[in-house]
Structure 1
Amino acid sequence: MKNVGEAPEAPARAPQEELATGERSTRNRVVRSILDHGPSTVTDLAGRLGLTQAAVRRHLDALVADDVVAPREQRVYGARTRGRPAKAFALTDCGRDAFDQSYDTLAADALRWIAQREGGEEAVIAFARARIAEQAG
Protein backbone atom coordinates (compact mmCIF):
# COMPACT_ATOMS: atom_id res chain seq x y z
CA MET A 1 0.00 0.00 0.00
CA LYS A 2 1.33 3.45 -0.93
CA ASN A 3 1.57 6.37 1.41
CA VAL A 4 -0.41 9.44 0.47
CA GLY A 5 1.70 11.82 -1.60
CA GLU A 6 4.17 9.16 -2.70
CA ALA A 7 5.20 9.27 -6.34
CA PRO A 8 3.91 6.36 -8.41
CA GLU A 9 6.45 3.70 -9.25
CA ALA A 10 7.72 3.70 -12.80
CA PRO A 11 6.71 0.57 -14.69
CA ALA A 12 9.52 -1.89 -15.31
CA ARG A 13 10.79 -1.70 -18.86
CA ALA A 14 10.90 -4.77 -21.01
CA PRO A 15 14.32 -5.62 -22.48
CA GLN A 16 12.95 -5.02 -26.01
CA GLU A 17 11.86 -1.51 -25.00
CA GLU A 18 15.31 -0.79 -23.52
CA LEU A 19 16.93 -1.83 -26.80
CA ALA A 20 14.47 0.16 -28.91
CA THR A 21 15.01 3.36 -26.89
CA GLY A 22 18.78 2.98 -26.56
CA GLU A 23 18.56 2.69 -22.76
CA ARG A 24 20.78 -0.38 -22.62
CA SER A 25 23.54 1.09 -24.81
CA THR A 26 23.56 4.33 -22.81
CA ARG A 27 23.83 2.38 -19.56
CA ASN A 28 26.72 0.44 -21.08
CA ARG A 29 28.40 3.76 -21.92
CA VAL A 30 27.95 4.92 -18.32
CA VAL A 31 29.44 1.70 -16.97
CA ARG A 32 32.30 1.74 -19.49
CA SER A 33 33.13 5.33 -18.52
CA ILE A 34 33.34 4.35 -14.84
CA LEU A 35 35.47 1.33 -15.77
CA ASP A 36 37.85 3.49 -17.84
CA HIS A 37 38.03 6.52 -15.51
CA GLY A 38 37.38 5.08 -12.06
CA PRO A 39 34.77 6.23 -9.54
CA SER A 40 32.88 9.16 -11.04
CA THR A 41 30.34 11.76 -9.99
CA VAL A 42 27.17 12.53 -11.92
CA THR A 43 28.82 15.75 -13.14
CA ASP A 44 31.91 13.85 -14.38
CA LEU A 45 29.78 11.31 -16.25
CA ALA A 46 27.47 13.91 -17.78
CA GLY A 47 30.46 15.87 -19.10
CA ARG A 48 32.24 12.83 -20.52
CA LEU A 49 29.15 11.31 -22.13
CA GLY A 50 27.39 14.46 -23.33
CA LEU A 51 24.26 13.68 -21.29
CA THR A 52 22.24 15.77 -18.87
CA GLN A 53 22.81 15.16 -15.18
CA ALA A 54 19.18 14.05 -14.87
CA ALA A 55 19.70 11.39 -17.56
CA VAL A 56 22.89 10.17 -15.88
CA ARG A 57 21.07 9.94 -12.52
CA ARG A 58 18.28 7.91 -14.10
CA HIS A 59 20.76 5.43 -15.57
CA LEU A 60 22.75 5.27 -12.33
CA ASP A 61 19.56 4.53 -10.37
CA ALA A 62 18.90 1.54 -12.64
CA LEU A 63 22.53 0.39 -12.42
CA VAL A 64 22.49 0.63 -8.61
CA ALA A 65 19.26 -1.40 -8.54
CA ASP A 66 20.96 -4.05 -10.72
CA ASP A 67 24.05 -4.08 -8.42
CA VAL A 68 26.33 -2.96 -11.26
CA VAL A 69 27.48 0.26 -9.57
CA ALA A 70 27.41 1.49 -5.98
CA PRO A 71 27.49 5.03 -4.63
CA ARG A 72 30.12 6.11 -2.14
CA GLU A 73 30.78 9.36 -0.38
CA GLN A 74 33.40 11.41 -2.15
CA ARG A 75 36.20 12.72 0.04
CA VAL A 76 36.25 16.47 0.41
CA TYR A 77 39.61 18.14 0.84
CA GLY A 78 39.67 21.66 2.21
CA ALA A 79 36.57 23.67 3.02
CA ARG A 80 33.31 21.90 2.29
CA THR A 81 30.80 23.74 0.12
CA ARG A 82 27.11 24.00 0.89
CA GLY A 83 24.71 21.22 0.04
CA ARG A 84 24.98 17.48 0.05
CA PRO A 85 28.41 16.00 -0.65
CA ALA A 86 28.71 14.59 -4.16
CA LYS A 87 28.61 10.84 -4.45
CA ALA A 88 31.08 9.01 -6.62
CA PHE A 89 29.78 5.88 -8.34
CA ALA A 90 32.09 2.89 -8.59
CA LEU A 91 31.68 -0.51 -10.21
CA THR A 92 30.73 -3.38 -7.95
CA ASP A 93 32.38 -6.79 -8.35
CA CYS A 94 29.29 -7.83 -10.31
CA GLY A 95 29.65 -4.81 -12.60
CA ARG A 96 33.34 -5.42 -13.17
CA ASP A 97 32.73 -9.09 -13.96
CA ALA A 98 30.41 -8.07 -16.80
CA PHE A 99 33.45 -6.92 -18.77
CA ASP A 100 36.07 -9.23 -20.18
CA GLN A 101 38.95 -8.37 -17.88
CA SER A 102 41.80 -10.68 -18.79
CA TYR A 103 44.49 -8.22 -17.67
CA ASP A 104 45.02 -10.01 -14.35
CA THR A 105 45.49 -13.35 -16.11
CA LEU A 106 47.88 -11.79 -18.61
CA ALA A 107 49.95 -10.18 -15.85
CA ALA A 108 50.12 -13.41 -13.83
CA ASP A 109 51.11 -15.38 -16.95
CA ALA A 110 53.84 -12.84 -17.77
CA LEU A 111 55.29 -12.99 -14.24
CA ARG A 112 55.21 -16.80 -14.32
CA TRP A 113 57.02 -16.78 -17.67
CA ILE A 114 59.68 -14.39 -16.36
CA ALA A 115 60.19 -16.55 -13.25
CA GLN A 116 60.52 -19.76 -15.28
CA ARG A 117 62.75 -18.52 -18.09
CA GLU A 118 64.55 -15.37 -17.01
CA GLY A 119 66.11 -15.94 -13.63
CA GLY A 120 63.43 -17.17 -11.30
CA GLU A 121 61.93 -15.25 -8.42
CA GLU A 122 64.80 -12.75 -8.39
CA ALA A 123 63.84 -11.59 -11.90
CA VAL A 124 60.21 -11.07 -10.80
CA ILE A 125 61.38 -9.10 -7.74
CA ALA A 126 63.67 -6.97 -9.94
CA PHE A 127 60.76 -6.28 -12.28
CA ALA A 128 58.51 -5.30 -9.35
CA ARG A 129 61.15 -2.95 -7.95
CA ALA A 130 61.67 -1.33 -11.35
CA ARG A 131 57.90 -0.76 -11.73
CA ILE A 132 57.62 0.76 -8.25
CA ALA A 133 60.56 3.08 -8.92
CA GLU A 134 59.04 4.11 -12.27
CA GLN A 135 55.64 4.87 -10.72
CA ALA A 136 57.18 6.74 -7.79
CA GLY A 137 59.18 8.95 -10.17
Structure 2
Amino acid sequence: MDRCPEFRHTSVVKLEAARPSNGEHAGHEPVHPSGGSSLPVAGGHEGHTRAAVVQLLVEEGPISATDIGARLGLSAAGARRHLDALIEAGEAQEASSAGWRQRGRGRPAKLFQITAAGRGKLGHTYDDLASAAMRQLREIGGEAAIEDFARRRVQSIVADVTPVAADEPEAVESTAESIAEAFTSAGFAASTRPVGNGVQICQHHCPVSHVAEEFPELCEAEREAFSELLGRHVQRLATIANGDCACTTHVPLALPPKTQ
Protein backbone atom coordinates (compact mmCIF):
# COMPACT_ATOMS: atom_id res chain seq x y z
CA MET A 1 0.00 0.00 0.00
CA ASP A 2 2.65 2.44 -1.00
CA ARG A 3 0.11 4.72 -2.59
CA CYS A 4 -3.63 4.45 -2.30
CA PRO A 5 -5.96 5.55 -5.06
CA GLU A 6 -7.98 8.62 -4.26
CA PHE A 7 -11.51 9.35 -5.37
CA ARG A 8 -10.56 12.86 -6.39
CA HIS A 9 -8.72 11.56 -9.45
CA THR A 10 -11.80 11.14 -11.65
CA SER A 11 -12.91 12.32 -15.02
CA VAL A 12 -16.25 14.06 -15.53
CA VAL A 13 -18.57 13.01 -18.34
CA LYS A 14 -22.12 14.23 -18.78
CA LEU A 15 -24.63 11.41 -18.65
CA GLU A 16 -26.97 11.67 -21.58
CA ALA A 17 -27.09 8.10 -22.72
CA ALA A 18 -25.41 5.12 -21.14
CA ARG A 19 -23.74 2.55 -23.34
CA PRO A 20 -23.59 -1.10 -22.32
CA SER A 21 -20.22 -1.95 -20.83
CA ASN A 22 -18.96 -5.42 -19.89
CA GLY A 23 -22.56 -6.60 -20.05
CA GLU A 24 -23.45 -4.59 -16.97
CA HIS A 25 -25.49 -1.86 -18.64
CA ALA A 26 -27.15 -3.95 -21.31
CA GLY A 27 -30.84 -3.24 -21.55
CA HIS A 28 -30.72 -0.51 -18.91
CA GLU A 29 -30.94 3.01 -20.25
CA PRO A 30 -30.25 5.71 -17.64
CA VAL A 31 -33.18 7.42 -16.04
CA HIS A 32 -32.57 10.77 -14.40
CA PRO A 33 -35.26 11.67 -11.87
CA SER A 34 -33.80 15.14 -11.51
CA GLY A 35 -33.83 15.77 -15.24
CA GLY A 36 -30.17 15.07 -15.98
CA SER A 37 -26.96 15.31 -14.03
CA SER A 38 -23.20 15.50 -14.47
CA LEU A 39 -21.43 12.75 -12.56
CA PRO A 40 -17.88 11.41 -12.72
CA VAL A 41 -18.26 8.25 -14.76
CA ALA A 42 -16.05 7.08 -17.54
CA GLY A 43 -17.27 4.66 -20.18
CA GLY A 44 -17.67 1.69 -17.85
CA HIS A 45 -14.29 2.13 -16.16
CA GLU A 46 -14.69 0.28 -12.86
CA GLY A 47 -12.83 2.77 -10.67
CA HIS A 48 -14.55 5.81 -12.14
CA THR A 49 -17.98 4.23 -11.84
CA ARG A 50 -17.34 3.46 -8.19
CA ALA A 51 -16.21 7.03 -7.66
CA ALA A 52 -19.54 8.15 -9.14
CA VAL A 53 -21.36 5.90 -6.67
CA VAL A 54 -19.40 7.49 -3.85
CA GLN A 55 -20.28 10.98 -5.08
CA LEU A 56 -23.99 10.09 -5.07
CA LEU A 57 -23.69 8.72 -1.53
CA VAL A 58 -22.10 12.00 -0.46
CA GLU A 59 -24.40 14.39 -2.28
CA GLU A 60 -27.75 12.57 -2.09
CA GLY A 61 -27.38 9.88 0.56
CA PRO A 62 -29.04 8.09 2.12
CA ILE A 63 -29.94 6.70 -1.30
CA SER A 64 -31.18 3.33 -2.54
CA ALA A 65 -29.37 0.98 -4.90
CA THR A 66 -32.25 1.39 -7.35
CA ASP A 67 -31.84 5.16 -7.44
CA ILE A 68 -28.08 4.83 -7.85
CA GLY A 69 -28.57 2.45 -10.75
CA ALA A 70 -31.08 4.76 -12.41
CA ARG A 71 -28.79 7.78 -12.07
CA LEU A 72 -25.73 5.99 -13.44
CA GLY A 73 -27.35 3.70 -15.99
CA LEU A 74 -26.47 0.54 -14.03
CA SER A 75 -28.51 -2.57 -13.48
CA ALA A 76 -29.68 -3.18 -9.93
CA ALA A 77 -27.11 -5.96 -9.61
CA GLY A 78 -24.37 -3.66 -10.92
CA ALA A 79 -25.20 -0.90 -8.44
CA ARG A 80 -25.39 -3.38 -5.59
CA ARG A 81 -22.00 -4.86 -6.54
CA HIS A 82 -20.33 -1.46 -6.13
CA LEU A 83 -22.17 -0.86 -2.87
CA ASP A 84 -21.12 -4.25 -1.51
CA ALA A 85 -17.48 -3.48 -2.32
CA LEU A 86 -17.71 -0.11 -0.56
CA ILE A 87 -19.41 -1.68 2.46
CA GLU A 88 -16.74 -4.37 2.67
CA ALA A 89 -14.07 -1.63 2.59
CA GLY A 90 -15.85 0.23 5.39
CA GLU A 91 -16.58 3.21 3.15
CA ALA A 92 -20.36 2.85 2.96
CA GLN A 93 -23.09 1.48 5.20
CA GLU A 94 -26.81 0.82 5.32
CA ALA A 95 -28.89 3.62 6.76
CA SER A 96 -32.26 3.41 8.46
CA SER A 97 -35.05 3.83 5.92
CA ALA A 98 -36.91 7.11 6.09
CA GLY A 99 -40.69 6.91 5.79
CA TRP A 100 -40.88 9.73 3.29
CA ARG A 101 -38.61 7.80 0.93
CA GLN A 102 -40.87 4.74 0.88
CA ARG A 103 -42.97 4.27 -2.24
CA GLY A 104 -46.26 2.48 -1.78
CA ARG A 105 -46.74 -0.50 0.46
CA GLY A 106 -44.36 -3.25 1.37
CA ARG A 107 -40.89 -3.26 2.78
CA PRO A 108 -39.04 0.06 2.44
CA ALA A 109 -36.03 0.08 0.16
CA LYS A 110 -32.63 -0.21 1.78
CA LEU A 111 -30.81 3.09 1.84
CA PHE A 112 -27.06 3.59 1.84
CA GLN A 113 -24.78 6.38 2.97
CA ILE A 114 -21.09 7.23 3.10
CA THR A 115 -19.11 6.46 6.28
CA ALA A 116 -16.51 8.61 7.99
CA ALA A 117 -13.80 6.38 6.49
CA GLY A 118 -15.23 6.86 3.01
CA ARG A 119 -15.51 10.59 3.47
CA GLY A 120 -11.89 10.69 4.59
CA LYS A 121 -10.78 9.39 1.19
CA LEU A 122 -12.40 12.20 -0.71
CA GLY A 123 -10.31 15.01 -2.12
CA HIS A 124 -9.67 18.01 0.11
CA THR A 125 -7.59 21.17 0.17
CA TYR A 126 -5.78 20.59 3.46
CA ASP A 127 -2.44 20.25 1.68
CA ASP A 128 -2.88 23.64 0.02
CA LEU A 129 -3.88 25.20 3.32
CA ALA A 130 -0.89 23.68 5.15
CA SER A 131 1.54 24.81 2.45
CA ALA A 132 0.13 28.34 2.55
CA ALA A 133 0.47 28.44 6.34
CA MET A 134 4.07 27.20 6.11
CA ARG A 135 4.94 29.87 3.54
CA GLN A 136 3.48 32.53 5.80
CA LEU A 137 5.45 31.15 8.74
CA ARG A 138 8.66 31.32 6.72
CA GLU A 139 7.89 34.86 5.63
CA ILE A 140 7.38 35.95 9.24
CA GLY A 141 10.06 33.94 11.05
CA GLY A 142 12.46 32.80 8.34
CA GLU A 143 13.96 29.33 7.90
CA ALA A 144 14.56 29.01 11.66
CA ALA A 145 10.80 29.16 12.27
CA ILE A 146 10.19 26.36 9.76
CA GLU A 147 12.89 24.17 11.32
CA ASP A 148 11.54 24.78 14.81
CA PHE A 149 8.02 23.89 13.69
CA ALA A 150 9.27 20.70 12.01
CA ARG A 151 11.12 19.63 15.18
CA ARG A 152 8.11 20.31 17.40
CA ARG A 153 5.87 18.35 15.05
CA VAL A 154 8.00 15.20 15.05
CA GLN A 155 8.59 15.44 18.80
CA SER A 156 4.83 15.33 19.31
CA ILE A 157 4.75 12.06 17.35
CA VAL A 158 7.58 10.30 19.23
CA ALA A 159 6.91 11.86 22.64
CA ASP A 160 6.30 8.46 24.25
CA VAL A 161 9.29 6.69 22.68
CA THR A 162 12.09 5.95 25.16
CA PRO A 163 15.59 6.61 23.79
CA VAL A 164 18.08 3.74 23.55
CA ALA A 165 19.54 3.21 27.03
CA ALA A 166 22.23 0.66 26.18
CA ASP A 167 24.34 0.27 23.05
CA GLU A 168 23.02 -3.20 22.26
CA PRO A 169 21.48 -4.42 18.98
CA GLU A 170 18.36 -5.63 20.76
CA ALA A 171 17.80 -2.24 22.37
CA VAL A 172 18.28 -0.45 19.05
CA GLU A 173 15.82 -2.77 17.29
CA SER A 174 13.27 -2.33 20.09
CA THR A 175 13.47 1.47 19.93
CA ALA A 176 13.24 1.43 16.13
CA GLU A 177 10.07 -0.65 16.45
CA SER A 178 8.66 1.83 18.97
CA ILE A 179 9.37 4.67 16.53
CA ALA A 180 7.56 2.77 13.76
CA GLU A 181 4.56 2.17 16.02
CA ALA A 182 4.41 5.86 16.93
CA PHE A 183 4.50 6.90 13.29
CA THR A 184 1.87 4.31 12.38
CA SER A 185 -0.42 5.84 15.00
CA ALA A 186 0.17 9.19 13.29
CA GLY A 187 -0.93 7.80 9.91
CA PHE A 188 2.43 6.88 8.35
CA ALA A 189 1.89 3.06 8.09
CA ALA A 190 5.42 2.43 9.34
CA SER A 191 7.26 -0.84 9.94
CA THR A 192 10.79 -2.12 10.50
CA ARG A 193 12.83 -4.82 8.78
CA PRO A 194 16.32 -6.24 9.35
CA VAL A 195 18.77 -5.49 6.55
CA GLY A 196 22.37 -6.73 6.76
CA ASN A 197 23.99 -5.34 9.90
CA GLY A 198 21.21 -2.89 10.56
CA VAL A 199 17.49 -2.27 10.59
CA GLN A 200 15.39 -0.08 8.34
CA ILE A 201 12.43 2.03 9.39
CA CYS A 202 9.99 2.10 6.46
CA GLN A 203 7.13 4.59 6.24
CA HIS A 204 4.80 3.24 3.54
CA HIS A 205 2.56 6.30 3.60
CA CYS A 206 3.16 9.98 4.30
CA PRO A 207 0.12 12.14 5.07
CA VAL A 208 2.22 15.30 4.59
CA SER A 209 4.16 14.27 1.48
CA HIS A 210 2.79 17.09 -0.70
CA VAL A 211 3.83 19.67 1.88
CA ALA A 212 7.20 17.97 2.43
CA GLU A 213 7.95 18.33 -1.30
CA GLU A 214 8.16 22.08 -0.73
CA PHE A 215 9.45 21.93 2.84
CA PRO A 216 12.11 19.17 3.17
CA GLU A 217 12.70 20.42 6.72
CA LEU A 218 9.84 18.09 7.73
CA CYS A 219 11.79 15.05 6.50
CA GLU A 220 15.08 16.25 7.99
CA ALA A 221 13.45 16.77 11.40
CA GLU A 222 12.27 13.16 11.33
CA ARG A 223 15.78 11.91 10.54
CA GLU A 224 17.27 14.00 13.37
CA ALA A 225 14.67 12.68 15.82
CA PHE A 226 15.43 9.09 14.80
CA SER A 227 19.13 9.71 15.32
CA GLU A 228 18.62 11.23 18.77
CA LEU A 229 16.34 8.43 19.96
CA LEU A 230 18.57 5.66 18.59
CA GLY A 231 21.86 7.19 19.72
CA ARG A 232 23.58 6.88 16.37
CA HIS A 233 23.79 8.41 12.92
CA VAL A 234 20.98 7.22 10.67
CA GLN A 235 20.70 7.61 6.90
CA ARG A 236 17.65 8.46 4.86
CA LEU A 237 17.69 6.26 1.76
CA ALA A 238 14.42 7.31 0.15
CA THR A 239 11.42 9.58 0.71
CA ILE A 240 7.91 9.65 -0.68
CA ALA A 241 8.26 13.43 -1.05
CA ASN A 242 11.02 12.78 -3.61
CA GLY A 243 8.86 10.34 -5.57
CA ASP A 244 9.99 7.08 -3.95
CA CYS A 245 7.48 4.41 -2.98
CA ALA A 246 8.32 4.68 0.74
CA CYS A 247 10.38 6.70 3.19
CA THR A 248 13.25 4.44 4.22
CA THR A 249 15.76 5.16 6.98
CA HIS A 250 18.73 2.87 7.63
CA VAL A 251 19.79 2.36 11.26
CA PRO A 252 23.12 0.60 11.95
CA LEU A 253 22.94 -1.79 14.91
CA ALA A 254 26.60 -1.36 15.83
CA LEU A 255 28.40 1.93 16.34
CA PRO A 256 31.54 2.51 14.27
CA PRO A 257 34.80 2.02 16.19
CA LYS A 258 36.15 5.18 17.79
CA THR A 259 39.27 6.60 16.20
CA GLN A 260 42.26 7.28 18.43
Structure-2 change in CA distance of 1:57 and 1:69 (3 Å): same
Counterpart selection for 1:74 from 97, 100, 107: 97
Normalised to the residue count of structure 2, the TM-score between the two structures is 0.29
Instruction: Report percent identity of matched pairs.
Output: 38
Structure-2 change in CA distance of 1:101 and 1:36 (3 Å): farther
Summarize deviations over 1:75-107 as a string: whole Å, max 9, x none.
Answer: 22489612x32111110000001112459xx9x
Summarize deviations over 1:1-30 as a string: whole Å, max 9, x none.
Answer: xxxxxxxxxxxxxx9xxxxx7322211110
Instruction: Give the structure with the higher percent helix.
Output: 1
Matching of residue 26 in structure 1 with residue 49 in structure 2: yes
Q: Secondary structure at the match of 2:63?
A: coil
Structure-2 change in CA distance of 1:57 and 1:79 (3 Å): closer
Matching of residue 35 in structure 1 with residue 38 in structure 2: no
**Structure 1 stretches (4+) deviating beyond 6 angstroms?**
none
Summarize deviations over 1:39-84 as a string: whole Å, max 9, x none.
Answer: 21112111111111110001101110001100112122489612x3
Larger radius of gyration: 2
Q: Which has the higher contact order (CA 8 A, sep 6+)?
A: 1
Q: Secondary structure at the match of 1:90?
A: strand
Structure-2 change in CA distance of 1:79 and 1:90 (3 Å): closer
- Cα RMSD, aligned residues only: 2.8
Instruction: Give the structure with the higher percent strand.
Output: 2
Q: For residues 79 and 56 of structure 1, what CA distance do their matches in structure 2 show?
A: 20
Q: For residues 76 and 61 of structure 1, what CA distance do their matches in structure 2 show?
A: 24
5+ residue gaps, structure 2:
6-43, 130-260
Q: Secondary structure at the match of 2:86?
A: helix
Question: How many matched pairs?
Answer: 84
